[in-house]
Chain A
Amino acid sequence: MTDKPGYRRPQAGTQPDYLHPTYQSTNLRSPSKPLVYLPHSLSEITGPTIGAEHVAEKDNDLTAQHAGEPLGERIIIHGRVLDEDGLPVPGILVEIWQANAAGRYNHARDLHDAPLDPNFTGTGRTVTDADGWYQFQTIKPGAYPWGNHHNAWRPAHIHFSLFGPSILTRLVTQMYFPGDPLLAYDPIYNCVPDTSAKERLIASFDLEKTIPSYALGYRWDIVLRGREATPMEK
């Protein structure tokens, strides 16, 4: 049987190294020994096809999970999940989580002195449609302090987790908001050297998606690894 094509290796500068000393948690958690090159076999070009069957219709609305509405600036985030050839990736699970408008996570380990919101959990999920589109309604998360260095603040962000056609397309990342002055100081945002790659993590304001008198719209497209054209040879 002819081997099937693997997945493309990252473009230089667009994916982080494990050790990134300005992000202190990497110092003891990054491998110190060389990674072993992994040819892409059947074990890697396959992957969990977790999707629609686990997601309820309203799971993409983070403003409708409690008796009342959460505090904060109501927003709609939408975009397309594409592969590196620009083709849509339909039918895949997209999971998100975030802080509330005050910059506090609904999590026992978050000790930031900002109020919890009884009407906001900060969890959402959806499945991309036939053209790769996803959409969430939520509130804009607040910035929050963290202990990485003196006066460290994370820029407002939403965590995204995606599957995709294979275990190699698995992606966990964070989406940011345009014009945030904290981005320049954030070691996580700045964990790759490629400026364009960083800027692709920032959503753009979308007036067309904005609903008058109701919610601001943002557009953010996500790209998963693409397939090699031919079976890979090392």
Chain B
Amino acid sequence: MTLYATTSHTVGPYYHIGLTWLNRETLANELTLGERVAISGQVVDGNGDVVNDAMLEVWQANAAGKYDHPEDQQDKPLDPNFEGFGRVPVDAEGRFRFTTIKPGTVPGLKGSTQAPHLVVLVFARGLVKHLLTRIYFEGEPANVADPLLECVPAERRATLLAKQDASGVYQWNVVLQGTDAETVFFDY
């Protein structure tokens, strides 16, 4: 039997009713292994106006580069204090902030190694289907050999890099549409 996946529809403007109970803006607890990182930014539309009704979901490996999931059969330790899932709403100014640990490197296809990254889903009114992007960390040595970054036009790669500000917080914005800084989104 072959079925086809149910059509995606927007979360609409009132998703908070159903989804905020599972908000996770702090992905790591005090016992989680790894380097703490705070990631902050803003979601904006094609006019540069803030998107105040978006929601992000985050999925990542632990500090050892292992996903808390049965498909990950690498010989690396799970961290009982880390699930790797975040659900992060934006505020009235379209801003979000979450804290987590920097993930380790994880295997890519064909024997490659992927630089530390977070998978990010973007939901909002007006997004009939959620967007998928990634956060990488600026200055990470493994970025130069990351197989997915290599697939991204060089002039657009910076949109996937979170940059540490003077206070140590990683800044990363989601530009849904734009002539210059539009975030790279993936056909998943």
Determine whether the beta carbon of B17 is less than 8 Å from that of A121. Answer: yes
Cβ distance B92 to chain A, nearest Cβ, rounded Å: 10
Q: Is the CB of B69 within 8 A of A28?
A: no
Find residues 1-49 in chain B having any chain A CB closer than 8 Å to their own CB. 1-19, 21-22, 45-47, 49
B46, A86: Cβ atoms closer than 8 Å: no
Q: Report the nearest A residue to B17, measured CB to CB.
A: A97
Inter-subunit contact B6/A223 (CB<8 Å): yes
Pick from A19-27, A67-75, A177-185, A209-217 the stretch touching chain B. Answer: A19-27
A123 contact set on B, CB distance < 8 A: 17-18, 21
Q: Are A15 and B8 in contact (CB under 8 A)?
A: yes
Decide: A97 and B185 in contact? CB cutoff 8 A.
no
* Interface residue B106 (Cβ < 8 Å from any Cβ of A): yes
Does chain A have a CB within 8 A of B63? no
Chain A CB within 10 Å — which of B9, B14, B114 has the most?
Answer: B9
Rounded to whole Å, the gap between the CB of B47 and the closest CB of chain A is 6
Tell me the complex Cα distance, A113–B51, Å.
25
A-binding residues in B (CB < 8 A): 1-19, 21-22, 45-47, 49, 51, 53, 57, 59, 61, 67-69, 71-72, 83-85, 106-111, 114, 117, 119, 121, 123-132, 147-148, 151-152, 156, 176-179, 182-188
Q: Can you give 12 A-B contacts (C-beta < 8 A)? A: A15-B129, A28-B45, A30-B126, A31-B182, A36-B185, A40-B188, A41-B148, A97-B18, A161-B19, A173-B7, A174-B9, A222-B6
